[in-house]
Structure 1
Amino acid sequence: MLDAICTLDEVKPVTYTVFKFQKLSDDDIEKYRQSLSCPVCNGKAYFRKASKDGKAACFGSRYHQVDCSEFNPSKAKIREELAVIEVNQLLVDSDALVIDFSKRAGGKRASCSSTDKNIIVGSKGNTGLLRTDPENKLVQDEQSGMSRVSSEGLDKLLHSLLRGSELAESDLWVYTDEKYRWRAKNLFVNFADAEPTDNGAPRMYWGTLSHSDKNMHWLNPADCRDVGIPIEDYQEALCKRFDIQGRRDLEGAGIIIFGKCFFNKEKTRKIIQLWGTDINRMAISKLDD
């Protein structure tokens, strides 16, 4: 995309070329970048600054309409559409879903906590198995009587949500650990709909990122302007896990995070804080992946 519309002033929206937008002051870029949309289909857009290795500044969107002339098929699009098909089929075939927080894109697993190890389903498909016994043998969820239980990692769930899967509206039971389960429609919350819960219970918040602050201590979702995600406490581990070299890698990226939502002291901004300190409970999908 060479152009984007800034709707910060809804009465008088302004169309910027990428060349004009990148020449704005840093303060103006930070002010306008969360109000950008595609000039053809009005899908939420992002701005990425030029990179040190020669990549040009650009506008883009992960919310183009299928028939939008600005929408070019990409590896990300193909991956996300495949995820939609697989997750929607999972909703049909399964009684419940176990989130395997240790599973990374490509089927690899990161190191995981003892809690996570207890809920990993060891074989692909609908095995009807939820956790392991002391001898590491897979056992069934006898208490609920469920016989068709699937397991999936955060990456595929995120990709499916970004492309409009039915997961966020489903009544499917979703296990976040060996004890707690949620209806999917109550668990998966887009950043635009994030609200503090009465009892501080966590949710699975998802959407896309607009940008980070200059020190990369905070992530700012593109889906709304009043939500922030603090990452300073685990910034180094996060950057290593997702190969984040700089702010540009976060611009337009998809993200899902298991965390709690609460107001800041002034009640002017909602904070989404990672549940615990385990970054396995977060996934980031960069545009270039």
Structure 2
Amino acid sequence: MLDAICLFDESNPITYSIFKFQKLSDADIEKYRQALMCPACAGKAYYRKASKDGKAACFGSRYHQADCREFKPSAAKEREEQHAIEVNQLLVDSDAMMIDFSRQPRSLKSRAERETQTQKQAPIQKQAQTSPELLSVSSSSDRVAAHSSNVEKRIASEGLEKILHSLMRGSELAESELWVYTDEKYRWRAKNLFVNFADAEPTETGAPRMYWGTISHVDKELFWLNPADSKEVGIPIDKIVEPLKLRFGLDERRDFEGATMILFGKCFWNKAKNRKIIQLWGNDINRIFISKPEEEG
């Protein structure tokens, strides 16, 4: 995208060309970058600065409408859409889903590893286990719907990559009644587990959720990720930044800009009660997945 509309002042929207926007002061860029949208379909947009190896600055969006003139189909987008189709089919074919946090991202696996993992993806027969602790933080309808622990159920297994891509491409997972296991003991209704950054709220019991959405940018010290979906949310990464960069190929700040992310963590207020913090559960790098953006949105 060569242009984006800035809604920082909603009464006075400004259309910036990428050439004009990148010439703004660093302070203005940081102030405006979370208020950008596509001029064609009004989808939430992001700004990526020029890279050290010569890639030009650009605007992009992970929220284009399918008929948007700025939307450029690609192999990556087609794969993400296929993931959404597969997850929607999973909702029909399976009684529950187990999140496999140990599953390596596709880009980091060898062919042999992928073939082995494919065999593990087939739905497995497993006894469902109820958890009084997690049922207590679910809705009353969830408690009423709890099944006996001796009922055999079809439980599919999926990694974070496919789950994130499906959510970004509009799968029905986040609104479904599907039971989702975060390990062999604890389960949640999908509609209570998956939360977009824009809807993140501190939980009374400190119970974790699967938070997902788009990253706007990271601060210069690489301490905080700032979601594009909400200016009120911050995600601390100072304790995991190096393994995070290594695992997902995030070589410079630009690589975070416009990336999508899902993580298992808890949401709480900062001391001043003016910002919501989403903390990765146990700072476990396996419980987070980041999908880098393409060069063009």
Deviation digits for residues 87-126 of structure 1 (CA, Å, limit 9, x no counterpart): 000010000000000112329779xxxxxxxxx9973222
For structure 1, list consecutive stretches of 5 or more residues without a partner in the other structure: 111-119, 132-140
Deviation digits for residues 229-263 of structure 1 (CA, Å, limit 9, x no counterpart): 00001111111111110110000000001000000
Q: Is the 8 A contact 1:194 1:261 kept in 2?
A: yes
- Residue pairs, 1:78-117, within 5 angstroms: 78-106=78-106
Q: TM-score scaled by structure 2?
A: 0.87
Distance 1:23 1:286 in 2: 24
Q: Which amino acid aligns with 2:106?
A: G
For structure 2, list consecutive stretches of 5 or more residues without a partner in the other structure: 111-116, 129-146
1:185 matched to 2:191? The reply is yes
Distance 2:198 2:180 in 1: 22
How far does residue 75 in structure 1 lie from its aligned partner after superposition? Answer: 2.6
1:245 matched to 2:239? The reply is no
The corresponding residue for 2:224 is 218
The corresponding residue for 1:48 is 48
Q: Is the 8 A contact 1:105 1:156 kept in 2?
A: no
The corresponding residue for 1:26 is 26
Aligned Cα root-mean-square deviation (Å)? 2.1
Distance 2:266 2:106 in 1: 28
The corresponding residue for 1:124 is 121
Distance 1:124 1:278 in 2: 23
SS in 1 for 2:162: helix
Q: Which amino acid aligns with 1:226?
A: E
- Residue pairs, 1:199-278, within 5 angstroms: 199-278=205-284
* Matched pairs, number: 271
Q: Is the 8 A contact 1:209 1:254 kept in 2?
A: yes
Deviation digits for residues 165-188 of structure 1 (CA, Å, limit 9, x no counterpart): 000001000000111100000000
Q: Is the 8 A contact 1:154 1:256 kept in 2?
A: yes
Distance 1:24 1:109 in 2: 40
Runs of 4+ aligned structure 1 residues displaced above 4 Å come to: 107-110
The corresponding residue for 1:195 is 201
How far does residue 267 in structure 1 lie from its aligned partner after superposition? Answer: 0.7
The alpha-carbon distance between structure 1 residues 121 and 66, as it changes in their structure 2 partners (threshold 3 A), is closer
The corresponding residue for 2:139 is none
SS in 2 for 1:46: strand
Q: TM-score scaled by structure 1?
A: 0.90
1:161 matched to 2:167? The reply is yes
Distance 1:75 1:107 in 2: 14
Q: Which amino acid aligns with 2:12?
A: K
The corresponding residue for 1:72 is 72
Q: Is the 8 A contact 1:99 1:152 kept in 2?
A: yes
How far does residue 2 in structure 1 lie from its aligned partner after superposition? Answer: 0.4
How far does residue 215 in structure 1 lie from its aligned partner after superposition? Answer: 1.2
The alpha-carbon distance between structure 1 residues 243 and 35, as it changes in their structure 2 partners (threshold 3 A), is same
Q: Which amino acid aligns with 2:252?
A: G
Q: Is the 8 A contact 1:98 1:130 kept in 2?
A: no
